[in-house]
With several copies, the nearest count.
Chain A
Amino acid sequence: MSARATTTLAKALNMGLRSAMERDPKVLIMGEDVGKLGGVFRVTDGLQKDFGEQRVIDTPLAESGIVGTAIGLALRGFRPVVEIQFDGFVYPAFDQIVSQLAKMHARSLGHVRLPVVVRIPVGGGIGAVEHHSESNEAYFAHTAGLRVVACSNPADAYFMIQQAIASEDPVVFYEPKRRYWEKAELDPEATPMPLHEARVVRPGEHVTVAAYGPMVRTCLEAATVAEQEGRSLEVIDLRSLSPLDLPLLCASVERTGRLVVVHEAPVFLGLGAEVAARVTERCFYSLQAPVLRVGGFHLPYPPARLEEEYLPDLDRVLDAVDRSMAF
C-alpha cells in the first residue's frame, strides 16, 4: 500500500482492523451485520470475505450476548473486537461491560486478562432517528477497569484501533460517526504516539480548547475564525478519555490560563466535568477564568430537525471563548 494516501476515517479503521487481523490470528470481529454487509458503516467491509466466517462473525441480535461471548472468547485466548451498531444500542450490554469486562482482571487478582475492544460509532449530526446519536462515553469513563479512547481523524483511527486491539486491557473505542467519510492523509508507516496521550492539534496562546472525537474539527474551525478576530486558541485533541492526559492539558492551561472543554454529550456529568474539576485542582493559581464547558443540553437527544441547535457548534465554542475571556 502506498504510503501517505488520502483516506476516509471509516476506511482507515478498516485498514487498521485488517492489519491487526493479519498480524495476529487471534483477533476476531464480532457484531451485527459485520460480515457480508461489512457493517452499516462499512468499517468491516471485505474482512469476512478475506478472513472467513470464523474470524468475522455475524452474531445473533443481542448486545449482551455479543459482549458476553466475546469475554468467553477472550478467556480462551482470542482478542475479540466487538462492533456495537450504534451508540444507543450498547446499553443492553452494560452489565457485561461494567460488571464483567471491566472487573474480571481485578477479580482474578491479575490472572485473567480480557483484551476486548468494544467499538462504538458515536454522536449525532447525521440526521438519524432516536438512539442513533448518543454520546455515552462518560458512563464508561467513570467505570474503573475500562480504558476509553476516541479517534477524530483517519490517521489516529488507523493507529489507535490497532493499539486498542494490542492493549491487554479492555478498551471502549469511540468512532465519530459523522466524520466517517471525512478524508485526510494517512501514512501507515508513521510511528504512532502512545494510545493514551493527548495531542495539541493547533497551538495557541489565549484560550485552551479541549475536545475529542467529532468535536475536534469543530474546535479547529472555531480556532480559524477566532484567529481572524485576533484570538489565538490552542486546540487539544484529548484522544484518551480514560485515562486523561493531564500533564499535556495542564501544561497548556498553565500557559493560556483559560480552558474550554467541548463535547456532544450532555454537560451535566459529561467528561468536561472531570476535566474541569481536575484541571482546576491542579492549575488553580494559573486559571484566569473558570473552566467552561460546551456540550449537549440536559435533554434526551432531540429529533434530527433540532440537532443542529442541540449540538455544540463553532458559534457556541466561540461564545464560550468569549465568556472565558470576559473573566
Chain B
Amino acid sequence: MTMASEIEGSQPAHHAAGHPFGPPAGPAGDPPLVQLLTPEGERVEHPDFPLEVTAEELRGLYRDLVLVRRVDTEATALQRQGELGIWASLLGQEAAQIGSGRALAPDDYAFPTYREHGVAWCRGVDPLNLLALFRGVHHGGWDPDEHNFHLYTIVIGDQALHATGYGMGLTMEGAESAVIAYFGDGATSQGDVNEAFIFASVFNAPVVFFCQNNQWAISEPLERQSKIPLYQRARGFGFPGIRVDGNDVLAVLAVTRAALERARAGEGPTFVEAFTYRMGAHTTSDDPTRYRLASELETWKLKDPIERVKAHLARTGQADTAFFAAVEAEADELAARLRHDCLALPDPAPLSMFDHPYVEPHPLVAEEREQFGAYLSRFAEDPASSSSTEGR
C-alpha cells in the first residue's frame, strides 16, 4: 500500500462513460487507516511509519493512558456529586491524545479544545486546573507559555486560526518547532477551521491539524459534516491528510511525530484524522441514548485504546502484574489527590473578577470595582440590609 492512496483516498481514477463529472461522490468505503497495534494488542508494521519503542516508553504510554482515564472518571464522578458544573469526558480518546501529546517536543506548542485533558497531561498541566475550569473557578488558570499548551478553547474551531498564526510566527523567527491544533469532527464545518487550512497552506505554516474524529458532534453523526472521510479535506487545500487509528497510541505517536517533523522541516501543514470514538456522553449534561444505539458503543469497546496496550505489554512480557498494580495504585492516588484538592478549591474572591479584563488601568472597571466593593462592604457590615432570599 502506498502512502499516496492513504493521503489522497481511493477515488476511482476513471468515471463511468456519459458522466462528465464522474460518478456521484459518496462515502469512499473504508479508507486506509494507519495502525501499529491491533485491537487485540498485536504489533504490526507500517512501511511509512516505522516505530521503535522501548519497553520503558511503552509502559510510560500505558501509565499515561490509565492515569488520564482515571482523572476523567474522577472528574465525571465529581460532576455527578455537584462539585463540577459540567465535564467533557475524553473516554475513548485517550490514545489519540496521549499519542499525539507525547509526540510533541518541548518547544512545540499545542492548541486544545475543551476535551484535551490527555494532551494537557502530557504538557504537564496539573489536572486540578481542568477541574477548576469545569467547576467554574476560572476559565483557564495555567500559564500557557509555561507548558506550551494554550488555554482551552470552547468556541468551536477558533483555536485553529490561533495555532496557524502562532505557526506563522515560528516561521518568521526561523524557529524549528511546530504547532499542533486540536479539533473535532464537527469543527471541520466551521469557516474558521477552513480558513486556518488556507492560511497555513499559503504561509506554509508548521502546523499539524489534529482532528479527533470521535464520530459525533454532540448528537450529530459525521454524515452531518461531511460526505467523504475527513482526512481527504486537506487535499482540497493542497496539503496532505492521513487517517490514523485513533485508538492506537503507537500509530498516533508515529504519525503525529512524522507530521510534526514535516512541519519543522519547513514542509508545511498536515491534517491528521485520528479515527476514534466518544465512548461517553458529549458532556455530563448530555444524554446520548436519545440519538445513538448502545450497540455502537459495544463495537467500539472492542477497540478500547487502553486494553490493547495492556494486552501487548502482558503478552510480550514487557510488563508484569506488579507494574499494572502499581499504575492502578498510582491512578487511585492521583484521583484521591485531585478529589481532595478540588473540594478544597476556594471560590474566587468576588472582587477578583475585576483583576484581569485589561492589562492597563481602565477607569470604568476601576469605578465599578470600587462601587461594588463598597456595596459588598455595606452588606458585610449590616447583613440584615440584604433583602435577598438567595443567601449570599
Contact = CB atoms under 8 A, between A and B. Distances in A.
A contacts B directly in the complex (CB < 8 Å)? Answer: yes
Interface string B337-354: 000000000011010111
Interface in B141-191: 141-145, 150-151, 153-156, 158, 160-170, 172-173, 186-187, 189-191
A147 B54 CA distance: 54
Nearest to A114: B359
A167 B140 CA distance: 23
A108 B144 contact: yes
A69 B387 CA distance: 49
B375 A319 contact: yes
Nearest to B391: A308
B130 to A, nearest CB: 11
A298 B364 contact: yes
A222 B388 CA distance: 8
A104 B356 CA distance: 10
B48 interface: no
Interface stretch (A12-20, A92-100, A149-157, A175-183): A92-100
B134 to A, nearest CB: 7
Contacts of B189: 60-62, 65
Contact of B163 (A72, A128, A303, A305): A72
Contacts of A302: 353
Given A99-B158, A319-B375, A129 B165 contact: no
Given A110-B356, A129-B134, A298 B368 contact: yes
Given A131-B154, A314-B388, A76 B290 contact: no
Given A61-B186, A71-B165, A145 B357 contact: yes
Contacts of A304: 85, 135-136
A316 B198 CA distance: 47
Nearest to A195: B360
Contacts of B136: 127, 129, 303-307
Contacts of B198: 60, 62, 65
A40 B284 CA distance: 12
Contacts of B187: 61
Most chain A CB within a 10 A radius of its CB, from B143, B158, B347? B158
A317 to B, nearest CB: 10
A273 interface: no
A88 B166 contact: no
B191 A65 contact: yes
B285 interface: yes
Given A37-B291, A298-B365, A305-B137, 10 more contacts: A61-B156, A72-B161, A72-B168, A107-B151, A108-B143, A129-B154, A145-B357, A242-B364, A302-B353, A319-B375
Contacts of B173: 76
Interface of B: 85-86, 114, 133-145, 150-151, 153-156, 158, 160-170, 172-173, 186-187, 189-192, 195-196, 198-199, 202, 217-220, 224-225, 285-286, 290-291, 347-348, 350, 352-360, 362-365, 368, 372, 375, 379, 386-390, 392
Nearest to A75: B166
B151 to A, nearest CB: 6
Contacts of A284: none
Interface in A272-288: none
Contact of B290 (A37, A72, A242): A37
Given A78-B169, A297-B354, A33 B163 contact: no
Interface string A307-322: 1111001111011000
B158 A37 contact: no
Given A100-B158, A314-B390, A33 B219 contact: yes
Contacts of A129: 85-86, 114, 133-134, 136, 139, 154
A100 B152 CA distance: 11
Given A62-B190, A72-B161, A105-B359, A225 B348 contact: no
Nearest to A126: B85
Contacts of B347: 305-306
9 contacts: A36-B291, A54-B172, A68-B161, A69-B165, A88-B155, A105-B359, A129-B133, A169-B360, A305-B135
A101 B337 CA distance: 35
Nearest to A315: B388
A111 interface: yes
A99 to B, nearest CB: 5
Contact of A73 (B133, B138, B169, B365): B169
A62 B145 contact: no
Contacts of A222: 387
A112 B363 contact: no
B219 A68 contact: no
Contacts of B224: 58-61
Contacts of A51: none
B358 A145 contact: yes
Nearest to B390: A313
A313 B85 CA distance: 21
Contacts of B86: 127-129
A139 interface: no
Nearest to A36: B291
Contacts of A127: 85-86, 136
A36 B219 contact: yes
Contact of B387 (A73, A100, A113, A314): A314
Given A62-B189, A127-B85, A105 B358 contact: yes
Contacts of A75: 144, 150, 162, 165-166, 169
Contact of B166 (A37, A72, A128, A315): A72
A314 B390 CA distance: 9
A298 B225 CA distance: 37
Contact of B158 (A35, A95, A106): A95
Contacts of A167: 360
B363 A246 contact: yes
Contacts of A309: 350, 353, 372
